Amino acid sequence: MNAQHCGYAAIVGRPNVGKSTLLNHLLGQKLSITSRKPQTTRHNILGIKTEGDYQMVFVDTPGINQHQAGAMGRYLKRTALTAMRDVDLILFVVDRDQWTSADAAVAVEIGRTRAPVVVVLNKVDKLDAVAALLPRIAALTEIFPAAEFLPVSALSGNNLDRLEAVIKAHMPVGPFCFAEDQYTDRSMRFLAAEIVREKITRQLGAELPYSTAIEIEEFRDDGGICHIGALILVEREGQKKIIIGDAGQRIKKIGEQARHDIEALVDKRVMLRLWVKVKRGWSDDERALRSLGYRDER
């Protein structure tokens, strides 16, 4: 019998560089919500992939931004930095042809860790030739002389098989940490809340980029139907009107899209009820954040 290998790989990078998309495609299923807006990922999300004698535990992290302000911004940064502690590998996701001050800030934090680093150059499907990456790799080699470099396209799946092979090579010998059929440590309640927030962010990201939070007040499975009640928190009365929309059409559309994805998640019919409440200043209130589940993850 072959020895089992199990380890943790943190997926880190600046906002909107493709970390959650990468996780979803590595797992072969959707776990982390995605959108074009920064701060879409607000928690460390564990994605578990077991293949043969290998179990890879991926940690999808919020984007690290040196300008994150307020209680929510501080929480997001602490959450991402916590993920880099005691992991077996760091996957540093960067854009194929962009290097920003936010990328540099992430590189500084990675330099304070001891884990080996794989620099994942994402979105290479949009390049005319992979040779165009050589100047970028040369510059990054000066920052991470011991790192491995791998061009991929998280969205199209290009070269992800090679990336997975590299990840497996870093997984230490040891027993599996999770059941072989488990793909995350998060509850269905948590995942349902994230799906609702994704639909709001995708539809209303321009009007409400960071001002919503979701609280699941009911999650009941009666065998045939899963009943879910979700409270959408906003900070101002005007934001509440935006989410509800004219004659309730906007919140109806959000509910329909969320229900469709949640039904795929729980594999049964879902009765989803949404309502909106104004809670002023919740995103800059440490106590309010903790009550909503934004607790430091060690």
pLDDT tens column, 88-109: 999 999 988 788 888 998 999 8
Residue 232: predicted pLDDT: 94
- Which phi and psi (to 5°) does residue 248 adopt? 75, 15
Give yes or no for a contact between 197 and 255, defined as CB atoms under 8 angstroms apart.
no
Q: How far apart are CA 93 and CA 147, in angstroms?
A: 13
Q: Which two tokens stand for residue 35?
A: 């959108």
Residue 268: predicted pLDDT: 93
Residue 246: predicted pLDDT: 93
Rounded to 10 deg, the angle between the 249-266 and 188-204 helix axes is 140
Residue 84: predicted pLDDT: 83
Give yes or no for a contact between 53 and 2, defined as CB atoms under 8 angstroms apart.
yes
- Sheet of 225-234: strands edge to edge? 213-221, 225-234, 269-278
Strand 225-234 and strand 54-60: the pairing is: unpaired
**Nearest alpha carbon to residue 284 among 101, 136, 69, 41:** 69
**How far is Cα of residue 97 from the mean position of the Cα atoms in its chain?**
22
8-state DSSP, 158? B
Output 40 or 27, whichever has higher pLDDT.
27
Q: Which two tokens stand for residue 208?
A: 């409400």
- Single pTM value for the model: 0.85
CATH code 3.40.50.300 region(s) in the chain: 5-169
Residue 35: predicted pLDDT: 61
Give domain 188-291's CATH number out of 3.30.160.100, 3.30.420.40, 1.10.760.10, 3.30.300.20: 3.30.300.20
Residue 165: predicted pLDDT: 96
Q: How far apart are CA 129 and CA 109, in angstroms?
A: 31
Output 242 or 73, whichever has higher pLDDT.
242
Q: Hey, CA dihedral for 153, 156, 161, 167, is it positive or negative?
A: positive
Element at 56 (helix H, strand E) = strand 54-60
CATH class of the domain defined by 5-169:
alpha beta
CATH code 3.30.300.20 region(s) in the chain: 188-291
Residue 79 has pLDDT above 80, yes or no: no
pLDDT in tens, 255-297: 999 999 999 999 999 999 999 999 887 777 777 777 777 665 5
pLDDT in tens, 141-189: 999 999 999 999 988 888 999 999 999 999 999 999 999 999 998 889 9
